[in-house]
Amino acid sequence: MLHSLKAIQSYKSGNTPEAQQHWLQLLAAAEKPHINLERIHSIAELEGTNPVLDYTERTLQVLDKLQVSFWVREILEEVLMWSETAKAGSREQRRAWQKQGVNLFVHNVGSAQLYDLYVAAGQLDNNIDKNKETRNSQPGSISEHTTPISSTPRHEVIRTLIATHGLIGQYIRGEIPFAENTPLHSIIGKGWLSTEELHALLMALNECIIAGVDPALWQQVQAEVERIVGWIITGPDHEDWSVKERLSRLRSSSIQQGEAVDAAYAKLQTELDVESILAPLAHRTLWYVESAMQDFSLQEMVKVFLLTLYSESMNSTLMEGQSTIVRHISFEPLMNTMYYDYKGVKKLNIYKKRMIEKYLEQYSWEQLAAGEQIVYPHLTHRIERHTDLPDTLFVTFEFSPAAEKLIAFCIEAEKSPLYEKAVLLLFDLFGLRWDAYDRFHNEETYLSDMNSSGDYKKVLLDYIVGKRVLDIGPGGGILLDLIEQEKPEVEPIGIDISANVIETLERKKQREGHRWQVMKGDALQLEQYVQPGTVDTVIFSSILHELYSYIELDGRRFNSDTVVAALKSSFHVLSPGGRILIRDGIMSEPEAQKRRIRFLEPDGMRSLERYTEDFQGRAIEYERISDNEVMMPINDAMEFLYTYTWGEEAYVHEIQEQFGIFTPTAYDHCIREALGEQAEIITFRHFLQEGYTEALGERLIFMNEDGEPAPLPDSTCLIVIEKKKGLADR
């Protein structure tokens, strides 16, 4: 076992690092290590751990198992021991290092500087040839058939490897220009190592640092690493990635999630000369860029680049009287502000993301190129330079204290009825249309739930007519998938006001190779997105009640005029003979019926009391009969049970929705009033959705007014409306 691994094990067993183990002392002293959040599953799990020391241990464990020559193992052990030290140290040590000019933000450079500081030249063996006999005698060693190199400064080789540690991986990711690897080629030019020896070192080193992150990742990139090592050995003048290629590599995580980067780049090219406008990035390193911006679009990332390039800080070439050139751009501050911990999982701060998107939307390409600063309340971009690091820019977005507190309030309120009020305040603060983001903090869970309801939606397929179908509010895309699979002749199109939904569906489409289309749009104004008379079927699958519940029309929500507006909009784009399909909640008739509920769970009564206080759709009435039993109007009882069935996790959202919005008679009246004589209702049936009885069976007893067990009433309706042929469109 490597000496360094034994030292780490000893430290983890409770022993203090030995005096000469400076690297381990620094790693052990880390109070707030600088790490890349990209591969971290939970921010909370970092508490009480030392991820930098753990990663260093993993890289050394990879080295320990490699079949390499003794001299390669000896050099790389020391390289790996020191390569992460700039991310460690106590706060006091880090302050002292910064005063000494150590670059702690470009950590490979900083680690090399720390190696110089802590490993005095006199303590080093300045001649790597001290191990010449060992090198030449090792079976299969690189030097076995080469002429030994004399007077090789071991310290300089190790320092160079530390200073360039990880750069090949960063080049693969598009984060650095190829020229950053020049110091590695100089090792050959100075006669310190042969090309074969440098090749052996670099391949083994990169296997350690990449497999230390993920062994599967090393298998994935090994061939490309070998190709780049060949370029480094050949010379420092290898041609760099094109701007398009570099952007694609910076978007690798987004592409894996389904981003169509080629199409996005082609669209950008129609708006500006991307190659030319981003040319100033060619010779600069980009730190933490993918971690910070993988959840933004390509267009938004390019806008952030331009805000950085044309900021006042970038154009300023003098700091403290000295000319400086920006070499590094760090997005670490932005990365750190974009995530928080939710139920033990690292979660994107969607609140900040949406506000930043809105901010970037205000900028035209011309304004960005001119370096124009737009005043946007409560949010601005911040590009900083520090006097002790004049060659580095730090990029982030800064929220006002009020906005920060309100965002923190939204996060804290995510599991309470206060959430709705918190989000409304946030949207008011930034001037956003709040119904566009009705499920802010758990969109992924919601979309997953929607996709699990495929069997319920499948019944709609039997009523589709024509070639072009609009799915209003497609959720997780399950109905689009079903139409595509079952009706290959049909062109499915999903329309949703939620940016969350559209982003997720676009990536799903790219990732899974679907042919359906999606667009961001308003269900009340469909004619703005599709030509009137060109749609054959419009589907409202469990979406009309959401429009009714969330959209403010004439200053109020829970407004039946919203349903009327949606029906009129869809009917207007419908072709003669086309259909509107509605699958949604239904209320019972006669409305005067009452039902009794006996709770079998101890918190059942409290749940009803809480629901009655929080629900805003209408006043919920109940008469308390005993500690665990109530009498209620049948539709109030069912409205409560719709939310009660979903459970606590969904409460914050379900409390905002009224699922049953009309009785059958009221639905019929609404449709005829909205659409007139052109519309014919050809199917109208209602039924109890499968699963409700089973879900509630062990939680309560549902009874009639006399206390006798009664079945749950119908919960769902299926309505098919056909547009008659031969009549003028109203």
Rg (CA), the chain: 32
Of 44 and 489, the structure prediction assigns the larger pLDDT to 489
Give the span between the Cα atoms of 606 and 580, in whole angstroms.
40
pLDDT of residue 351: 85
For range 303-314, the mean pLDDT? 81
Select from 487, 490, 486, 488 the least CA-distant residue to 467.
490
Pairing of strands 535-541, 623-626: unpaired
Of 35 and 716, the structure prediction assigns the larger pLDDT to 716
> Quick one: tokens of 295?
């959840």
Q: Is the pLDDT of residue 446 over 70?
A: no
Confidence of residue 39 (pLDDT cuts 50, 70, 90): low
Give the span between the Cα atoms of 628 and 492, in whole angstroms.
48
CB 15 within 8 A of CB 70: no
For range 701-709, the mean pLDDT? 96
pLDDT of residue 115: 93
SS (H, E, C) 185-248: HHHHHCCCCCHHHHHHHHHHHHHHHHHCCCHHHHHHHHHHHHHHHHHHHHCCCCCCCCHHHHHH
Q: Which residues of 53-90 are buried (b: 16+ CB within 10 A; e: fewer)?
A: bebbbbbbbbbeeeebbebbbbbbbbbbbbbbbbbbbe
For range 478-495, the mean pLDDT? 95
Confidence of residue 139 (pLDDT cuts 50, 70, 90): very low
Q: Indicate the length of the chain as a whole number.
A: 730
Of 219 and 17, the structure prediction assigns the larger pLDDT to 219
Report the share of the chain in percent with pLDDT over 90: 60
pLDDT of residue 32: 62
Q: Which residues contact 9 (CB under 8 A, 6 or more apart)?
A: none
Give the span between the Cα atoms of 611 and 532, in whole angstroms.
42
Of 228 and 454, the structure prediction assigns the larger pLDDT to 228
Task: Tell me the longest C-alpha to C-alpha distance in the chain.
Answer: 102
pLDDT of residue 455: 61
What SS3 state is found at 559?
Answer: coil
> Quick one: tokens of 682?
């050809």
Per-residue pLDDT of 395-408, as tens digits, reads 999 999 988 988 88
Give the span between the Cα atoms of 397 and 296, in whole angstroms.
14
Q: Pick from 6-20, 111-125, 447-461, 641-655 the range whose average pLDDT is largest.
A: 6-20
Task: Taking the CA atoms of 10, 14, 15 and 16 in sequence, report the sign of the dihedral they define.
Answer: positive
pLDDT of residue 145: 31
Select from 485, 587, 473 the least CA-distant residue to 539.
473
Q: Is the pLDDT of residue 130 over 60?
A: no
Q: Is the pLDDT of residue 505 over 80?
A: yes
Of 441 and 604, the structure prediction assigns the larger pLDDT to 604
What SS3 state is found at 69?
Answer: coil
For range 275-283, the mean pLDDT? 92
Select from 570, 572, 546, 571 the least CA-distant residue to 559.
546
Confidence of residue 428 (pLDDT cuts 50, 70, 90): low
Encoded amino acid at 491, one letter: E
pLDDT of residue 248: 95
Give the span between the Cα atoms of 108 and 209, in whole angstroms.
12
Residue with tokens 């990711």, as numbered in its chain: 173
Lowest-confidence region among 323-332, 527-536, 583-592, 615-624: 323-332
Give the span between the Cα atoms of 340 and 405, in whole angstroms.
14
Select from 273, 276, 310, 304 the least CA-distant residue to 288.
304
- Enter the DSSP assignment of 556: B
Give the mean pLDDT of the chain.
Answer: 85
Q: Is the pLDDT of residue 121 over 50?
A: no
The verdict on whether omega for the bond into residue 590 sits within 30 degrees of 0, i.e. cis, is yes
pLDDT of residue 376: 84
pLDDT of residue 628: 96
Task: Taking the CA atoms of 516, 521, 526 and 530 in sequence, report the sign of the dihedral they define.
Answer: negative
CB 110 within 8 A of CB 102: yes
